[in-house]
Chain A
Amino acid sequence: DVKVTQSSRYLVKRTGEKVFLECVQDMDHENMFWYRQDPGLGLRLIYFSYDVKMKEKGDIPEGYSVSREKKERFSLILESASTNQTSMYLCASRPTGTGGYGYTFGSGTRLTVV
């Protein structure tokens, strides 16, 4: 069964901490995405990557960075966590050239910054 695995389901961090959210996919997908989900705002794209070491900003990149050193792993980094980054974070991946098919989502990480 194909999978996108997010390392933590729930996470509590303190303001100012550096936070790493990890996402691993086992499908050899080229493209990976990080979304943030907030009530009434839907899922908003933070960053995405279409190849190893490649990254592109999404709609709300401020306060975040990403790392993709290996094809299967895409990390979201909160350099200095703030309370307004309390949210649900979803990782996704998809292969290139599938005509819109093949998106696979992780189960999400609910991050609370206190």
Chain B
Amino acid sequence: AQKVTQAQTEISVVEKEDVTLDCVYETRDTTYYLFWYKQPPSGELVFLIRRNSFDEQNEISGRYSWNFQKSTSSFNFTITASQVVDSAVYFCALSEAGIYNQGGKLIFGQGTELSVKP
């Protein structure tokens, strides 16, 4: 069965600190997709990144970077030099590509609430 675990419920940092959000997943499929979403206080889910299971290259986008490691089934997210505007709930999610996942549903982790203080 597919499962996503975000063990960090809440993280609090001071502005300009680096912070890493952990994500561990379980899947029976060999082809799957991993996602990160941001949910600011307004409530809308904001898509950040999608990764497929065959692409283990790390990705960097501005202050954001992602480390995908199939060997440990992890897809961690790092914010460098955090800012107050990064305060939000962050969700990691998984979608299996195979026949068992009709419709392509997303399975989400529990979310990590990040608070960046000035």
Q: Which residues of A contact B (CB under 8 A)?
A: 31, 33, 35, 40-45, 48-50, 56, 58, 88, 90, 92, 94, 96, 99-101, 103, 105, 107-108, 110
Contact = CB atoms under 8 A, between A and B. Distances in A.
A100 B43 contact: no
A41 B110 contact: yes
Please tell me the size bucket of the interface on B: 20 to 34
Contacts of B111: 40, 42-43
B105 A48 contact: yes
Residue among B47, B95, B110 with the most chain A CB within 10 A?
Answer: B110
A50 B9 CA distance: 32
B45 A50 contact: no
B97 interface: yes
B44 A42 contact: no
B105 A33 contact: yes
Contact of A49 (B9, B45, B103, B108): B103
A40 B108 CA distance: 12
Q: What 6 pairs between A and B have smallest CB-CB spacing?
A: A100-B33, A50-B103, A43-B108, A42-B110, A42-B108, A105-B45
Contacts of A42: 4, 6, 91, 108-111
A31 B45 CA distance: 18
Contacts of B109: 42
Contact of A45 (B43, B50, B102, B107): B107
20 contacts: A31-B103, A33-B105, A35-B108, A42-B4, A42-B91, A42-B109, A43-B91, A44-B108, A45-B107, A48-B103, A48-B105, A50-B103, A92-B106, A100-B50, A100-B95, A100-B97, A103-B35, A105-B45, A107-B44, A110-B43
